[in-house]
Amino acid sequence: MTLCLDVGNSQIFGGLFNGDKLLFRFRRITERIISSDELGLFFRNVIRENGHNPKDVESAAYCSVVPDINHSLRNSCIHYFDAEPFELKAGVKTGLKIRYKNPTEVGADRIADAISAVNRYPDTNLIIVDFGTASTVEAITAKKEYLGGAIAPGLRISMRALEEATASLPKVEILRPDKTCGRSTVESIQSGLYWGHLGMLREIIKRYRSECFPKGQNSIVIATGGFAGLFADSGLFDVIHPDLVLEGIRLAQILNHTTTKHYVSLMSMRK
C-alpha cells in the first residue's frame, strides 16, 4: 500500500492506496512546527482507525507547498513506515510539457492535479479548478502542455480577510445561499463569497477557452479540492474529482520508479 500526502497551507490531505484503489482519505490541520513523531503517530493511528495495518504501507509519496514541514514529514515516513518518501517537486518526471516561464515556480499540487487529469482524459484539452487555500485554474492542452493558470484567494481566505479587515463583519459559514440578494449581514457575506467566486471562475474559464485552445476545440472542465462539492450544481464543471491531487502524486511516484521497502532491500543487497 502507498501513503500519499498533499501538504497545503491550511490542511494536510492524505489517502491510502492499494494499487490504484483509494482505500480512504483524511485531513488534518497543517502545523508548520511539528515533529516527525507527531506526524508518524498520527498517520499510523489514522490508518489503523480506518481498518488497515500500518505495517502494510510499503511506500509513501507527497507534494508540499509548506517547506517548513518537509523535514519532519520525510522523517516520519522513514521512521514509522521504513520508506523513503517520494517528493513531487521540480525536476522529477511528470509526463507534462511545462510552458511556464519559470517551471520551478509551479506549485507541486497544481502539477499533481494535471498529472492525474491527463491520465484520466488523454488527448483532451483540460481546465482544472482546484478549491484549496487558494483557488487555482489551470490549462492543459491535448498534447500534455501545461500552459499555466490563475491564482486567486480561496473562499476561506476571502472570508477571513473580511473578518480581520473590518470592524463589524462576522465570520460566517461558507455555503451556497438560496438567493443572491442577502437580507442580513451573514446572508450578504455568504452571497458575496459564493456568487462572487462563481462569477470570477466563470469569466476565467470563458477566457481560457478562447485564449488557450484553438478555435473549435472543446475542453473538459474539472473541479477538485475541498470546496468543489459546493459548486456541484453550478453548471460550470463537466466533472468533479475530489481526489485528483492524491491520484496525481501516486502516478508521479510510479512514473519516477520511486523507492518502496522492497526496492530498498534490493538496493541494500547490491551494496
Provide the b/e sequence for 58-70 (b: ≥16 CB within 10 Å). Answer: bbbbbbbbeeebe
H-type helices in 212-243, by residue range?
none
The cell numbers describing 212, all together, are: 488557450
The cell numbers describing 243, all together, are: 481526489
Q: Is 60 helix (H, G, I), strand (E, B) or coil?
A: strand
DSSP β-bridge partners for residue 60: 3
H-type helices in the chain, by residue range?
36-49, 67-81, 108-120, 155-165, 185-211, 244-255, 261-270
DSSP β-bridge partners for residue 18: 21
* DSSP label at residue 31: -
Give CA torsion, residues 162, 165, 169, 173, to 10 deg. Answer: 30
Region at 110 (left for phi over 0; alpha for psi -120 to 50; beta for the rest): alpha
Q: Is 270 helix (H, G, I), strand (E, B) or coil?
A: helix
Query: Per the residue annotation, which of 20, 56, 82, 109 is the catalytic one?
Result: 109
The cell numbers describing 28, all together, are: 488534518
CB 132 within 8 A of CB 10: yes
Tell me how far CA of residue 60 lies from CA of 39, 66, 122, in angstroms: 13, 18, 26
Please confirm, yes or no, whether 113 is among the known catalytic residues.
no
Annotated catalytic residues are 109
